[in-house]
A and B are shown apart, each in its own frame.
Chain A
Amino acid sequence: MEQYEPDRLSPAQAAAIRRSLTSGRGALTRRSLLRVGGAGALTLGGLSALSACGIPPAKREGGTAAPSDDHSAQEKRINFSNWTEYMDLSDDQKVHPTLEEFTKRTGITVDYTEDINDNVEFFGKIRPQLAAGQDTGRDLIVVTDWLAARIIRLGWAQKLDPAHLPHAYANLIPQYRNPDWDPGRAHSYPWTGIDTVIAYNTKATGGKKVDSVTQLLDDPTLKGRVGFLTEMRDTVGMTLLDLGKDPASFTTADYDEALGRLQKGVDKKQIRRFTGNDYTSDLDKGDLAACLAWAGDVIQLQAGNPDIQYAIPAAGYITSSDNLLVPAKARHKTNAEKLIDFYYEPAIAARLAAFISYVCPVEGVKEELAKIDPALADNPLIVPDKAMAAKAHAFRSLSAEEETAYEEKFAKLIGS
């Protein structure tokens, strides 16, 4: 130590430093060692306590969230977690114009994070805090139907105040108004609708059209180049429709039949893989000739590759939505509601839809969209027409037991 003491210290200063190291608060005394030892013993004691307690039940009494303090009035902020590429961007990629406008109008700054990549992973991330009754640090999250249903069922979502949501209440398309998991949209509002369709690469199919799940599973020219989705509801739902069953009211026997049909496709190597979002690059390259796909992706792929086509099966297609939720204990609920309402103004919704090209759940957006780009307004994948809407089917919500059992069977199908 002494050789590091600079010469310019006076002897008194040097002595003071040495003293502080040997007998001051920084000193390593036997007492402090005992303290640490005590902490270690406490930790060990904690371990045995740990094995006794397990994981607390998720569901709260009454099924609704514990009241959360709303700091909206004092703190003009909101933390918004969303999926990647789910928000409009300025030409220089630096700002989100609609969010800027929201801030300009309301004075509420938006801390926008694209930290949701996958429903199951995101749930794994927020579950510990929500289960412990803590704030996740997020005021607004966007999750797919089934996960929204689970979060609401567990009582981890706050009830929204309709008084703060006049536009949302008035402009939500009827199709989305009454999901069986959140009647009357008490806890959630759709951010976008998601249509699951069949996409194919004409270069890889040799110009052939692919327009049914039966063809995906049986056409020998597609062998080894067919993809299905790892989202159980999309894959099984589309297969149920192909079998003539209604995904809104199927039984376990129907479910097993659909899985059996898919299993045959796996066994005879017709199906190449089950994919998440990564099917887009496979389809683009032609490694997948045809697959189940999300309509918004198809529009974005088509912009770069004219060989990509899509088809709506005659048997119908599965529709779902990504929903805005305010998690329990979020600090800025009123601000979050204002933001939801803002995106239900048709002019704003049109600007968003024009950029992200997913189904827009807002009534009256067609006219606004036509002002931006008439081609978009006529695209049934963004603004569904009557024929399209007639073929839309939703996957029914599942009880907790069903969810576990079905996911387990599905996991077996996809290999784990």
Chain B
Amino acid sequence: MSATAAPPQAPAPAEPPVHRPALRKKLVPYWLLLPGIVWLLVFFVLPMAYQASTSVQTGSLEEGFQVTWHFRTYWDALTEYYPQFLRSLLYAGTATALCLLLGYPLAYLIAFKAGRWRNLLLVLVIAPFFTSFLIRTLAWKTILADGGPVVGALNTIGFLDVTSWLGMTEGDRVLATPLAVVCGLTYNFLPFMILPLYTSLERIDTRLHEAAGDLYATPATTFRKVTFPLSMPGVVSGTLLTFIPASGDYVNAELLGSTDTRMIGNVIQSQYLRILDYPTAAALSFILMAVVLVMVTIYIRRAGTEDLV
């Protein structure tokens, strides 16, 4: 759209003033930013401001809510629901770690060893997105059903005795236990881990592996000194893309969990829709956002990756 220069084939002497094109060129980046800015303003900044305002209001549905700068709501919400906060962070953290353990070998395989299967494997990683999140989670209820083959097999090898002892399962079942919720979270967010890992692994020049070999590095050392450090941007963005949505998720805890596996997302949902206590729901959302922001900032500082994917 910056077409202000005179057309080359037909020089039109009368047309362009000399200075305006320069100014216009300077403005181009802003014009390109404009749609994004407007979008964020309407769908991010405004709702955030609205929620921020809601969180310091008091009142009821009947009498209406007024801004009274009642910041105590934050403290009350935190003291009342800190177990759910801790549980959310614990579950999301565990799921993120599992995603990394499961996703890294797979991303590595796709990037370096898959050859002509690479595209097929990538499509398979993305394939779950073709069905809805809810349906996929409901499918886990069938997979993990009490009388189902999975639970039967886990029982036979004594796996459930171990997890029971760890407090992750209840008797000889998996559904309606913390294990089921963590499994559901891991499954649902795994592609968000694999894709960034794949992109950063795929970028690694394989000649670096050869060079490491030439310098007498064992495969393990090559991985430790070359591959893994170079894949750090993928690891960091993958863990963030997994951890942040997982900590706010409520579908998995709702469908696969029980009363003692409720996460903070469930509390927010129930405060907002069931109890109609909008200020508490808004305050909880902001606390969650702040906690996640702080954790993520510390994490990025520690991981020391300025060049995120």
Q: A residues bordering B, Cβ < 8 Å? A: 1-2, 5, 11, 14-15, 18, 21-22, 28, 33, 36, 40, 43, 47, 50-59, 120-121, 123-124, 154, 223-225, 266, 269, 271-274, 278, 281-282, 285-287, 400-401, 404, 407-408, 411, 413-416
Contact = CB atoms under 8 A, between A and B. Distances in A.
B255 interface: yes
A401 B63 CA distance: 11
Contact of B141 (A2, A21, A282): A282
Contacts of A33: 27, 30
13 contacts: A33-B30, A47-B49, A54-B64, A58-B62, A124-B273, A224-B173, A224-B176, A266-B259, A271-B259, A273-B176, A287-B173, A411-B267, A415-B260
Contact of A224 (B54, B60, B171): B171
Interface in B41-57: 41, 45-46, 49-50, 52-54, 57
B170 interface: yes
Nearest to A411: B270
A404 B275 contact: yes
List 6 A-B pairs, minimum CB-CB distance, nearest first.
A1-B3, A57-B64, A415-B259, A415-B262, A55-B65, A416-B266
A286 B147 contact: yes
B147 A28 contact: no
A281 B261 contact: no
B263 to A, nearest CB: 8
A400 B259 contact: no
B173 A285 contact: no
Interface of B: 1-5, 7-8, 10, 12, 24, 27, 30-31, 34, 41, 45-46, 49-50, 52-54, 57, 59-67, 84, 138, 141-142, 145-147, 170-171, 173, 175-176, 255, 257-262, 266-267, 269-278
A14 B7 contact: yes
Nearest to B56: A51
B278 to A, nearest CB: 7
A50 B49 CA distance: 8
Contacts of B63: 57, 59
A57 B273 contact: no
Contacts of A285: 142, 145-147
A287 B64 contact: no
Nearest to A48: B49
A271 B259 CA distance: 9
A400 B46 CA distance: 30
Contacts of B30: 33
Given A54-B64, A400-B60, A401-B60, 7 more contacts: A43-B41, A51-B52, A51-B67, A57-B64, A404-B60, A415-B258, A415-B259
Nearest to A285: B145
A24 B269 CA distance: 50
A51 B146 CA distance: 51
Contacts of A225: 146
Contacts of B275: 404, 407-408, 411
Nearest to B175: A287
A89 to B, nearest CB: 22
A1 B259 CA distance: 62
Contact of B24 (A14, A28, A413): A28
